[in-house]
A and B are shown apart, each in its own frame.
Chain A
Amino acid sequence: MNSKQLSVRIWRGKDNGGLETYQVPARENQTVLDVITEVQRLHAPDLAYRFACRVGVCGSCAMTVNGKPRWTCRTHVKKVADEGVLTVEPLRNLPRIKDLVCDLAPFIDTWQKAGAPFSGNQTRQQPPATVDPNSKARLTADAALQCINCAVCYSGCDVVNWNRDYLGPAALNRAWTLVNDERHGQRQQTFDQAFADGGCGNCHSHGNCTRLCPIELSPSQSIAGLKRLALTGLDKRY
């Protein structure tokens, strides 16, 4: 058996818990989620953590790994371990439930507040809208579309950290896609909500969200787009 070991320090408990260290074998290929699972199977059956797809689709496995929020199922240990030590904590900026599990409700609430639900502007009797895939608005929306709701950006945003009323990068990024979606019946309302108290006027444009987003979206650019719209107004042509 490979004698090389990995020291994994994992947050146990709630707010006043602490880090506990476990040893697992270091393997050629292992993700942070693999390691957490191995710890839970072999050492700590009561360890709470979240995951579902294990392939970077569902967005449920985000944790703080060696100080940075990351999607653990697609983060290779080799890339992030610091001299054989891995420190895994729950996400920042969210209430803790147990061990590595956070309550995501405040994060989901920001989406509602930012006017994120889609609302069609046609009835089922009408034919589906014809959207030109190469129109500027569509390309702009597409560029921001693939968000997996992992809350990595929310957890990495310093403005969220000091102002919990701030809607944060993911929700505003979503609002930006809707504002550019000609099929969305409430573009003006979404825009108004994205710019209300706690909205995009609070963003410092320092780009942590963009640097951390595992899907390589750019919420900071989306927010800059919303700010630009404040000066030019919504495009009323569609």
Chain B
Amino acid sequence: MERRLFVLQRLSAMLLALLVFIHLGLILFAVRDGLSAAEILGRTQGNILWATFYGLFVLLVAIHAPIGVRKVLQEWTGLPASTINSVCWGFALLLLVLGFRAVAAVV
């Protein structure tokens, strides 16, 4: 279990590092002549590629962050393991819902 979480967290970090660079590159590219909602939506709406890209982004974040938060809670609070696990599952779901909502809103 611990090992699986460790591996999941490292692998998601590796992929996230790549996606973050693409994301940053996109930002630089997107603001080259001003930034408007219409322009963003024009690029993202109906575009399955960006939907997949940011969908994957959300998924990886929802895997990566709660595993780290779990360790922090284990070390800093004396909470029982089951409580910490539930909190982290909740956090993962929250990230998924908020993230996919945002992705759905622009495609």
Contact = CB atoms under 8 A, between A and B. Distances in A.
B75 A162 contact: yes
Interface string B61-92: 00000000001001100000000000000000
Contacts of B10: 230-231
Contacts of A202: 71, 75
A163 B81 CA distance: 14
Interface residues of B, number: 11
Contacts of A111: none
B2 interface: yes
Majority secondary structure, A binding face: helix
Contacts of A230: 3, 6-7, 10
Contacts of B11: 231
Given A195-B2, A199-B2, A231 B75 contact: no
Contacts of B7: 230-231
Name the interface size band of chain A.
10 to 19
Interface string A150-162: 0000000001001
Interface centre among A159, A162, A192, A230 (most CB of B within 10 A): A230
Contact of B3 (A162, A163, A195): A195
Contacts, number: 28
A13 interface: no
Majority secondary structure, B binding face: helix
A201 B75 contact: no
Contacts of A196: 2-3
A201 B5 CA distance: 9
A227 interface: yes
Interface string A137-178: 000000000000000000000010011000000000000000
Interface centre among B2, B3, B5, B75 (most CB of A within 10 A): B3
Interface string B1-44: 11101110011000000000000000000000000000000000
B75 A163 contact: yes
A231 B12 CA distance: 12
Contacts of A159: 75
B6 A195 contact: yes
A68 to B, nearest CB: 23
Contacts of A197: 1-2
Given A197-B2, A201-B5, A231-B10, 5 more contacts: A162-B75, A163-B75, A192-B3, A201-B2, A230-B10
A-B residue pairs, 6 tightest by C-beta = A195-B3, A201-B6, A201-B2, A230-B3, A230-B6, A230-B7
Interface of A: 159, 162-163, 192, 195-197, 199, 201-202, 227, 230-231
